[in-house]
Amino acid sequence: MSSRRSVAFVFAVLASTVAFSTTGLRAQTTVTSERPASFTLDNGLQVVVIPDHRTPVVTQMIWYKVGSADETPGKSGLAHFLEHLMFKGTARHPAGEFSQTVLRVGGNENAFTSVDYTGYFQRVPREQLPTMMEFEADRMTGLILKDENVLPERDVVLEEYNMRVANNPDARLTEQIMAALYLNHPYGRPVIGWHQEIEKLDREDALAFYKRFYAPNNAILIIAGDVELKDVRPLVEKNFAPIPAQRAIPEKRVRPQEPTPAAPRSVTLSDPRVEQPSLRRYYLVPSATTAAAGESQALDVLAQLMGGGANSYLYRSLVIDKGLAISAGAGYQGTALDPSQFSISVTPKPGVEFAQIEDAIDKVIADLAQNPAKAEDLERVKTQLIAEAIYAQDNQATLARWYGGALTTGLSIEDIRSWPDRIRAVTAEQVRAAAAAWLDGKRSVTGYLIKDTAPKREEKRS
């Protein structure tokens, strides 16, 4: 993966562990006054148009409802590998032409792979939308792959794995925690894949995956920016309507599900490059798609109460009151097709034992599970969540991401637009019930990142 396409992927790999703010549905919320227009072509392509006339710019995003959790066992990393290969050209447009065109018109592009979806986008001057749409429609079915460009790209992915996972102790810990959290569900596989499986991926694997999943009835096209529906619809019909649906794609994705968790688990990763030990705990919790009514919003509020800044309960307890930690936070990854994660992260002060940290965390959780939060705290965090959602809509690319991420994981436009109202409606009792039900030790994996101080063994000389 080239550097210009790496950032979004990294966040997908690290899931909710990079930033411990509630990046789930909060990052998928918009309260724009104008409802986005939506229509579906006869071939199944869903189209969402989000007008934003503040600048003469448009963002085109196409989201495919396939991610690493949809890969064939033994072929991990295939969704991400194909994302790389989608830039290798078609019969109509040779490799590099699409990207060079974007750069020539002063635009930018990127791509990203997650557990549930793969996406591609361009942000360009509005008059360039017809050109971008023609390119994107062409590579939905016209991709041409040859060994001379597939095999070197596999080497690029392997090097990316080495750089971003194998040589990054924090990312490696995340990989191990996720593998321990999901005993049966494919969310336990890394988005980038397992090294020994990546190195066996080939042209045939990529083409088979492409032909199986890349089709209009498995995609959502989002156009955000200085556009109107009346102008966008003819363009979409011209470019995408002739592409036939892939009838073999099921309407609903069905994956192996997790058994009821029976015991807490832990993993310890030691590495000589670790300068500061840290503790991370993940709980298996419902996503916005799988949760009962009100439950996901209660988890959003709970995460903000526990770990959203210097006034959060974890920070107050561990950093301010007890002086045990340098930092403490929590997050909820609500946007997922299947059960997701609630995370806690703490960096202890030097000399502080993990047992002390865990005891303090458990006391915060026990208090929240037994006693409803104070009214002023509840209102403060709800106001924070809603305000951040309002401020974030200033970026049209962010708007497109919000809708794409939500719609590809089973939510609706109305779910996205009504999120602030549902946050406002969360009660202290709902938050208490969420803490009691889901922050149960049996549902958790605790990861410890420590410095490996063992001396290296010298190689024997013959």
Active site (catalytic) residues: 83
Strands 444-451 vs 265-271: parallel, antiparallel or unpaired: parallel
Write out the DSSP string of 397-452: HHHHHHHHHHHTTT--HHHHHTHHHHHHT--HHHHHHHHHHHS-GGGEEEEEEEE-
- In angstroms and rounded to an integer, the radius of gyration of the C-alpha atoms of the chain is 23
Closest alpha carbon to 303 in 372, 365, 391: 365
The Cα-based distances of 9 to 3, 59, 260, 266 in angstroms read 10, 19, 30, 26
Return the bridge partners of 90, or none.
143
The H or E element that residue 271 is part of is: strand 265-271
Q: Is 339 helix (H, G, I), strand (E, B) or coil?
A: coil
Q: How many CB atoms lie within 10 A of CB 433?
A: 17
Closest alpha carbon to 174 in 333, 364, 400: 333
Q: What are phi and psi of 429, to 5 degrees?
A: -70, -40
The Cα-based distances of 453 to 114, 274, 435, 448 in angstroms read 35, 10, 37, 15
Burial class of residue 103 (count of CB atoms within 10 Å of its CB; 0-12, 13-18, 19+): exposed
- Give me the helices (H) in 182-228, please: 195-198, 203-213
